[in-house]
């Protein structure tokens, strides 16, 4: 079975490479020719552990190829559409790239094919695509099937998520699509059947519901952390207490400075918009993104209140700029948002991230009192305090003999990584969230 992937971002590239690694013949397409040239050399344009090696192996095995042309699409049986659907600015998803793809396909496809939409799209998109492109879906000469197949990949662990999925959602009412889905996903489905079939509308909504549920769990813990700060409770103890309940589970119960990235903020906003468009009230969904912004402000105020009117004479060392560990993605990064809020108030900020610094520099170029450093311990002696924003593994067990040289000997722990008792042995103060 030959597979054609349209879009080589996180979702498209991981999908294509994992299918190729499983023995399928895969062509990955992107309109960006320079990107395609890089990928042909195994040069991945973003950071995802293990992906470059898999590309090189599949290229050598001749299971994988890259192209900037759609001319080869007729040589393939299955097409995955994996283009971006960013926030339009009002909570609606921008489907421009998706529509460009289907306009192009109706001029190129001349044989039977199955198209999966893997992009995150609003409920009802599959129906609209079938209606808006009759040349594809109402052609008497060949049969094109359309299905929804939302992705559930975590940046930084996307390969593992694809190969060992919790579930594989397919939105379809077609027996043919179901049969082909079993063939496609058999290599990742052999221990037990993880395929879950449902209507296209349900599949589309499931993606938004899953991400919004996870965002809601984070937000709930963050709000509890503020209550802990106002009392004698400890958020770590709360997490262990409720996480031990199997109905709740332990995942996504860590408090911090908020969530970011390309998915949670966009998908929460989009789900909120879907409720509005369908005239259905949702107080819960509407409050999630608002509470997330409040958490950033809450941590920001912890820092500024500590220094009071002396902030303008203080330097800060910032660890972590990506929105989460194991990625160079800074989209909606709360670390970046915090830096932008702190920069006008403090004398100088020294910024370190093991991977994401090159992506952060253009985003922060208008802030003149920032300096990107090459080591996490550079400028410790010139800094008054350390602010931990992203929980990269190399930050988990820092050298406290070095950090005791911070001028004011204080760490603002935005991810609650550190034990205040351990820091106290080195005469370092700890300011966490709810601890």
Phi-psi region of 269 (alpha: psi -120 to 50; beta: other; left: phi over 0): alpha
Give how far the C-alpha of residue 3 lies from the chain's centroid of Cα atoms, to the nearest Å. 25
In angstroms, the CA 204 to CA 38 distance is 32
Rounded Cα–Cα distance for residues 167 and 202 (Å): 14
Q: Is residue 43 within 8 Å of residue 34, measured between CB atoms?
A: no
Q: Cα torsion at 62, 66, 72, 77 (round to 10°)?
A: 60
Q: Where are the alpha helices (DSSP H) in 199-253?
A: 200-229, 235-243
Q: Please, are residues 143 and 109 in contact by the beta-carbon 8 Å criterion?
A: no
- Paired tokens of 190: 């052999």
The runs of H, that is alpha helices, within 329-387 are 334-342, 357-363
> How far is Cα 256 from Cα 248, in angstroms, rounded to an integer?
19
Q: Within its chain, how far is the Cα of 132 from the centroid?
A: 30
Residue 412 is classified by DSSP as E
Our answer to whether residue 263 is catalytic in this structure is yes
Residue 15 contacts residue 163 (beta carbons within 8 Å): no
From the list 28, 228, 263, 389, the catalytic residue is 263
* Length of the chain as a residue count: 435
Q: What are the distances in angstroms from CA 127 to CA 123, 145, 308?
A: 9, 12, 56
17: its two tokens: 């490479």
3-state class (DSSP) for residue 131: helix
Interatomic CA distance for residues 107 and 1, integer angstroms: 23
Pair 300, 341: CB distance under 8 Å = yes
Q: Take residue 102 and report the two structure tokens written for it.
A: 């289907």
Selection from 58, 67, 64, 63 nearest residue 7 by Cα: 67
Report DSSP state, residue 327.
-
Residue with tokens 């004398």: 347
Under DSSP, is residue 319 helix (H, G, I), strand (E, B) or coil? strand
Read off the tokens for 86: 């960013």
Which residues belong to the active site? 263
């Amino acid at each position: 079975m030959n597979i054609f992937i349209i879009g080589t971002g996180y979702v498209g590239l991981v999908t294509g490479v994992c299918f190729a690694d499983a023995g399928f013949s895969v062509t990955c397409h992107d309109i960006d020719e320079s990107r395609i040239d890089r990928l042909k050399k195994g040069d991945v344009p973003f950071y995802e552990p293990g992906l470059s090696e898999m590309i090189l192996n599949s290229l050598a095995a001749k299971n994988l190829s890259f192209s900037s042309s759609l001319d080869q699409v007729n040589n393939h049986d299955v097409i995955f559409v994996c283009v971006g659907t960013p926030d339009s600015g009002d909570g609606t998803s921008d489907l421009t790239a998706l529509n460009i793809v289907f306009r192009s396909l109706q001029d190129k496809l001349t044989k039977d094919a199955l198209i999966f939409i893997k992009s995150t799209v609003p409920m009802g998109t599959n129906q609209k695509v079938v209606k808006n492109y009759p040349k594809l879906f109402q052609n008497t000469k060949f049969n094109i099937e359309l299905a929804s197949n939302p992705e559930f990949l975590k940046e930084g662990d996307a390969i593992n998520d694809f190969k060992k999925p919790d579930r594989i959602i397919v939105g379809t009412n077609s027996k043919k699509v179901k049969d082909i889905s079993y063939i496609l996903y058999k290599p990742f489905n052999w221990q037990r059947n993880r395929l879950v079939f449902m209507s296209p509308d349900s599949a589309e909504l499931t993606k938004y519901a899953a991400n919004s549920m996870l965002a809601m769990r984070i937000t709930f813990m963050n709000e509890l952390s503020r209550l802990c700060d106002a009392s004698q409770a400890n958020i770590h103890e709360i997490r262990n207490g409720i996480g031990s309940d199997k109905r709740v589970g332990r995942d996504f119960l860590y408090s911090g400075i908020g969530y970011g990235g390309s998915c949670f903020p966009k998908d929460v906003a989009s789900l909120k918009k879907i409720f509005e468009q369908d005239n259905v009230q949702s107080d819960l969904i509407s409050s999630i993104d608002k509470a997330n912004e409040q958490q950033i402000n809450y941590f920001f105020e912890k820092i500024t209140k500590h220094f009071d009117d002396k902030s303008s004479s203080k330097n800060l060392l910032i660890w972590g700029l990506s929105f989460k560990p194991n990625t160079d993605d800074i989209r909606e990064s709360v670390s970046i948002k915090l830096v932008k809020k702190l920069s006008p108030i403090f004398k100088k900020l020294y910024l370190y991230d093991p991977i994401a610094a090159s992506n952060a520099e253009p985003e922060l170029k208008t802030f003149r009192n920032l300096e990107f450093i090459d080591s996490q311990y550079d400028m410790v002696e010139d800094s008054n305090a350390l602010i931990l924003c992203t929980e990269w593994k190399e930050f988990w067990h820092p050298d406290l003999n070095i950090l005791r040289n911070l001028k004011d000997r204080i760490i603002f722990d935005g991810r609650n990584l550190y034990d205040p008792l351990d820091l106290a042995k080195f005469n370092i103060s700890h300011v966490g969230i709810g601890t």
